[in-house]
Amino acid sequence: MSNEVEQGQVVDVAIVGGGVSGLYSAWRLKQRQRNARIVVYECSDYRTGGRLMSAIPPGMPHVPAELGGMRFLNTQPIVQALADHLHVAYRDFPVSESNNIAYLRGSRLRRSELTDPAKLPYRLSPAERGKSIGELMDTAMETIVPGITADGLTPEQRRALAQRTTFLGRPLTAWGFWNALARVMTFEAYQFVADGSGYDTTVSNWNAADAIPWFLADFGKTAVYKNPLQGMQVFPDRLRELFEVELEGDVRLGHTVRRIARSGRHLVLEFKPSDPPIEPVIAKRVILAMPRRSLELIDLEPALGNEMSRVRTLIESVSPQPLFKFFACYRTPWWREEPLGVRQGQTTTDIPIRQVYYFGTEGEQPGGEPGNTNSLMMASYDDGRNIRYWIGFLREMEAASRFATSTTDAGDEQWQRNQPPETMVEEVQRLIAEVHGLPLEQVPKPYAAAYHDWGIDPFGGGYNLWKIHAESPRVIDAIIQPVAEIPLFVCGEAYSNAQGWVEGALETAELMLKRGFQLDAPEWLPQQGAAGQLDMTTESATLRF
């Protein structure tokens, strides 16, 4: 099959993007019609997985470093069902532990002390004092959308309620989330929420009608975070194995699509110049499984013609959000020692590292080497303004020396390709010491480190959020197949109800497969959990290419 495609033969389905939505679509289509020529084109020359990147650090083969997405929720029906169907072993992913640290405005507190007005360094109003971050947000969102926090509402019901809500005389879709929150809570309370949660973008100025139900789903009372033992990249890895090995599908690495044109009823994919050159591919149908920025990097006008302006408006209805992660490896879990006594979960701060996660110790993992105390810390998780702080170190990358890994085990290729400059490691260490209240010399030097900045092309951000005034239900419906008579389809996390999650990528993939290819929902996917989101129940139809 490979040689035929390279000579310009027609493929039935060309899938551009080897992330989870692209590989999932390829697997589902190939299951339905084994003889179909389905090819996945991925721009990376060494990996698939997109924004799921589970790197293996040196000396810790059982503690994957989640340089990309790191968890899913028990309330997300598609990814939960997929994990069970693929026999993915997973466990609870701890976040907020009462003994963890919150270092805010120079005050070092434990998470359990964040409701103590005497210790909290924020000037909250009398009505706000003594409330947790969650309680402050619930009160604010209930004021904006009465009834939105009621028990028993489904995510679909919350989204519908928010979409039809008017707040202070304007549709909620015309409000930025931050703007609306500022009308119902003090700026001090807002800053406490942003600082104490560790996130900037979740409470930023994105579409309030989408933000409120999203926030309640992500940080709801019943939400439990889960993480695969092998890391989140196990999802695209297993999907690729099933597609490529079991079903004899075709995955092409190092294929960057730069232009798509029309040729009669078919589409022609042209690739970025390479050595040796990659010949154009003719496809009966094309699936673009990618985020906004990646879509913008492809010249679609030759395919869409006069419709390009309208489609561009759909593409631009979301905004890419920055995301930066930094991991450090230590010979012992020094944070467990007194006076810190921190074991797992999340520490937050308003200084540039923003969030710290204590990921685990090798010898304590299933299959880990007993007595191996090598331990992993996500020493920085930034999703907003503080990323500019780290750009200063990244821009001197060429001049700066790489951090020296003091071990014979260099980790896997994904770890090796994401090595930071020495100056960045030194700065992270300085800030880690400050957050934990220790002299710098008492914080052990890491023996290895890695980072990833998701703001660079082709991703343009770690995830996407709906813009103010965007009508997300209409966009989700329209962008699946932007032009009815052109066999070009779009799926991925960006244009979904679960932005920032694998669930959103799978949600749009299932909707696209139903609408564009007449695929029924798979038997392993509970219809009750998915039908409300996707309306995936459909009469059986023959898949035609």
Predicted confidence at residue 223, as pLDDT, reads 83
The 10s digit of each residue's pLDDT in 464-477 is 999 999 999 999 99
Predicted confidence at residue 535, as pLDDT, reads 46
Predicted confidence at residue 538, as pLDDT, reads 34
Diameter over CA atoms, the chain: 73
**Dihedral (Cα; 268, 273, 274, 280), 10-degree rounding:** 10
Predicted confidence at residue 527, as pLDDT, reads 72
The 10s digit of each residue's pLDDT in 149-193 is 999 999 999 999 999 999 999 999 999 999 999 999 999 999 999
- The C-alpha atoms of residue 286 and residue 295 are separated, in whole angstroms, by 13
Predicted confidence at residue 353, as pLDDT, reads 97
Q: What is the CATH number of domain 2-50+233-318+464-534?
A: 3.50.50.60
- Judge contact between 122 and 109, C-beta under 8 A: no
Distance of alpha carbon 264 from its chain centroid, rounded?
Answer: 37
The burial class, CB within 10 Å (0-12 / 13-18 / 19+), for 425 is buried
User: Can you give the pLDDT of all 545 residues of the chain as single tens digits?
Assistant: 344 444 457 899 999 999 999 999 999 999 999 999 999 999 999 999 999 999 999 999 999 999 999 999 999 999 999 999 999 999 999 998 899 999 999 999 999 999 999 999 999 999 999 999 999 999 999 999 999 999 999 999 999 999 999 999 999 999 999 999 999 999 999 999 999 999 999 999 999 999 999 999 988 777 899 999 999 999 999 999 999 999 999 999 999 999 999 999 999 999 999 889 999 999 999 999 999 999 999 999 999 999 999 999 999 999 999 999 999 999 999 999 999 999 999 999 999 999 999 999 999 999 999 999 999 999 999 998 889 899 888 765 555 567 766 667 889 999 999 999 999 999 999 999 999 999 999 999 999 999 999 999 999 999 999 999 999 999 999 999 999 999 999 999 999 999 999 999 999 999 999 999 999 999 999 874 443 444 433 333 334 45
- The C-alpha atoms of residue 296 and residue 360 are separated, in whole angstroms, by 38
Strands, DSSP E only, in 294-389?
Answer: 318-321, 324-330, 345-349, 355-361, 375-382
Q: Are strands 101-104 and 90-92 parallel, antiparallel or unpaired?
A: unpaired
- The C-alpha atoms of residue 440 and residue 433 are separated, in whole angstroms, by 5
Q: What is the CATH number of domain 59-72+88-95+324-453?
A: 3.90.660
Residue in 240, 226, 252 with CA at minimum distance from that of residue 66:
226
Which residues 6+ apart lie within 8 Å of 382 measured at CB? 322, 323, 324, 325, 352, 353, 354, 355, 389, 390
Q: Where are the domains of the chain?
A: 2-50+233-318+464-534, 59-72+88-95+324-453, 122-224
Using CA atoms, how far residue 531 sits from 368, 499, 514, in Å, is 40, 18, 12
pTM for this one? 0.93
Q: Are strands 355-361 and 375-382 parallel, antiparallel or unpaired?
A: antiparallel
- The C-alpha atoms of residue 131 and residue 212 are separated, in whole angstroms, by 19
